[in-house]
Amino acid sequence: MKESSLDLFNMRICALMRRWWASTSLSIPDLEKREVAFESQRPGNFIRHLRFDGEEALRQTLNERCAVSLYYSVTKQVGNRIIRDLIIDVDVKGDDWKASVELALEEIKLLYETVEREFGLKGIVNFSGLKGFHLRYNVNEDSPWAIMTKRGYERLAAYLSSLPTLQYNIRGRVVDICRLHPTGSCYRAALQLQFRYVDTLVLTREEGLIRALRSINPKSGLAAVPLDTLDIDVDILIDRASPIKEEYDVTLKEKVKIPWGREIGPGRVSVNYHELLYLLLHGFL
User: pLDDT tens digits for 20-34?
Assistant: 999 898 889 999 999
One domain for residues 95 and 202: yes
One domain for residues 177 and 97: yes
What CATH number is associated with residue 105?
3.90.920.10
Question: Quick one: pLDDT at residue 145?
Answer: 86
Cα separation, 130 vs 143, in Å, equals 32
* Sign of the C-alpha dihedral computed for residues 58, 62, 63 and 64 taken in this order: positive
**Any idea of the CA torsion for 101, 232, 107, 148, to the nearest 10 degrees?**
110
Question: Quick one: pLDDT at residue 176?
Answer: 44
Cα separation, 215 vs 144, in Å, equals 30
Question: Quick one: pLDDT at residue 195?
Answer: 76
One domain for residues 56 and 25: yes
One domain for residues 91 and 136: yes
- Radius of gyration (C-alpha) of the chain in whole angstroms: 21
Question: Quick one: pLDDT at residue 206?
Answer: 78
Cα separation, 243 vs 222, in Å, equals 9
One domain for residues 150 and 36: no
For residues 211 and 71, the answer to whether their CB atoms sit within 8 Å is yes
Q: Where are the alpha helices (DSSP H) in 24-149?
A: 55-64, 97-119
Q: Answer whether residue 235 is part of any domain.
A: no
One domain for residues 174 and 254: no
Q: Answer whether residue 232 is part of any domain.
A: no
Separation in Å, CA 89 to CA 74, 115, 170, 171, 204: 12, 13, 26, 26, 11
Specify the number of domains making up the chain. Answer: 3
One domain for residues 174 and 255: no
Can you list the residues of the chain whose pLDDT is less than 50?
1-2, 163-193
One domain for residues 68 and 153: no
For residues 216 and 133, the answer to whether their CB atoms sit within 8 Å is no
Q: What b/e readout covers 219-239, taking b as 16+ CB neighbours within 10 angstroms?
A: bbbbbbbebeeeeeebeebbe
Q: Answer whether residue 237 is part of any domain.
A: no
Question: Quick one: pLDDT at residue 165?
Answer: 38
- For residue 33, the enclosing domain spans 1-73
Q: Answer whether residue 111 is part of any domain.
A: yes
Question: Quick one: pLDDT at residue 4?
Answer: 59
Question: Quick one: pLDDT at residue 5?
Answer: 58
One domain for residues 45 and 104: no
One domain for residues 20 and 89: no
Q: Of 73, 101, 122, which residue constitutes the final position of a domain? A: 73
One domain for residues 86 and 69: no
